[in-house]
Amino acid sequence: MAKAGAMDLASGLGGNLSRRDLASAVDQYEKYHSFYGGEEDKRKFNYTDMVNKYYDLATSFYEYGWGQSFHFANRFQDETLQESIKRHEHFLALHLGLKPEMKVLDVGCGIGGPLREIARFSGASITGLNNNGYQISRGTELNKKYGLDKTCDFVKADFMKMPLADNTYDAVYAIEATCHAPDAVGCYKEIWRVLKPGQCFAAYEWCMTDAYDPHNEHHNKMKAEIELGNGLPDIRTTRQCLEAAKEAGFEILVEDDLAKTSPLPWYLPIDPGRFSLSSFRLTRLGRFFTRNLVWVLESIKVAPEGSGRVSQFLEKGADGLVAGGKKEIFTPMYFFLARKPL
């Protein structure tokens, strides 16, 4: 998994935002969230602006610390983080039965790390749907770099209203992406519409578990940190996601919270209490190094003003994820496989 260096981090900070607009974008983004007085209804109503700002601000940090695939994975004792991420992607491809000649849609594809890995693994042709221009330009560049630009491409669009024909795709998947949707039913209905009858949709969803208590102040603090640090309008429960898929018209074939059976905790890579050379940038020391690197780059005007604040809210989000994982009130890998009836 290729990782960006310090200068790549600096050059990509802010995505498509101009240097003078970055600090203002951080202000606007923070105000959407409850930590800064924001409200859920406003986040949902303005989800396009909020999520676009988030990925303009956060993408370079993700690629610097995580690589090209921006997601968690269940993990075995003898696996590296990178190996577990690839296996997590292959798991999805195998459940969908992907193979050459199939036309597949990746909903909320990021910069295309999973898309490229799944295309290499299965031989399928994959289109990544994304509403963030910077991520699409970065993904297009990487597709060319790895020789996948003939079989993999991107379309810039909102997954709540896809400019795609009905019954087009042989399979659809979403990896920790449709959690950004303001309405799960509406999003899943669009996926149902573009999927061919009899074919399947597979997803990893970010969810609150049955252990989450909406009346528990500590639980809600963790939830708010996750929303702030990850550009989410709200976090649905596993039950809400399952019911939304059914309401959209899908037949559920498999559903499971893969975090429950993961031999190693899914949040291990970002747990500040552990150390790892293979994922150093995600450790407490690595985060400290990144935080100070960004402040230095900002102070000497290599990085735009506001970059340090982005690093701060991403760290707060990571803290919420670890706390929520340890309390088992949150999972980033609620998996379901659903079929569109014939």
Given this model, what pLDDT does residue 282 score? 64
Tokens 């596993």 map to which residue? 238
Place of tokens 């209203």: 161
Whole-number pLDDT of residue 1? 39
Candidates 164, 162, 141; CA nearest to 153 is 141
Burial of 22 (0-12, 13-18, 19+ CB in 10 A): buried
Give the count of beta carbons closer than 10 Å to the beta carbon of residue 82. Answer: 16
Going by pLDDT thresholds of 50, 70 and 90, the confidence category of residue 284 is low
* 175-212 residue pLDDT tens: 999 999 999 999 999 999 999 999 999 999 999 999 99
Nearest partner of 94 among 194, 173, 197, judged by Cα: 173
Which pTM was predicted?
A: 0.92
**What letter would DSSP give residue 264?**
B
Extended beta strands in 111-168, E state: 125-130, 152-156
Domain boundaries, the chain: 1-342
Residue 293: its pLDDT value, please? 76
Enumerate residues 6+ apart whose C-beta is below 8 A from 189.
Answer: 248, 249
With a cut of 90, say whether residue 19 has pLDDT above it: no
Report the candidate in 317, 186, 184 with the shortest Cα–Cα distance to residue 238.
184
What pLDDT is recorded for position 2? Answer: 44
87 sits in the region (left: phi over 0; alpha: psi -120 to 50; else beta) called: alpha
- Domain 1-342 belongs in CATH node 3.40.50.150: yes
pLDDT for residue 6? 56
pLDDT in tens, 46-57: 999 999 999 999
- Mean pLDDT over each residue of the chain, to the nearest integer: 91
Question: In the chain, pLDDT over 70 holds for what percent of residues?
Answer: 92
Whether 147 shows a pLDDT value over 80: the answer reads yes
Query: Which comes out higher in pLDDT, residue 330 or 281?
Result: 330
| Spatial contact of 294 and 311, defined as CB atoms under 8 Å apart | yes
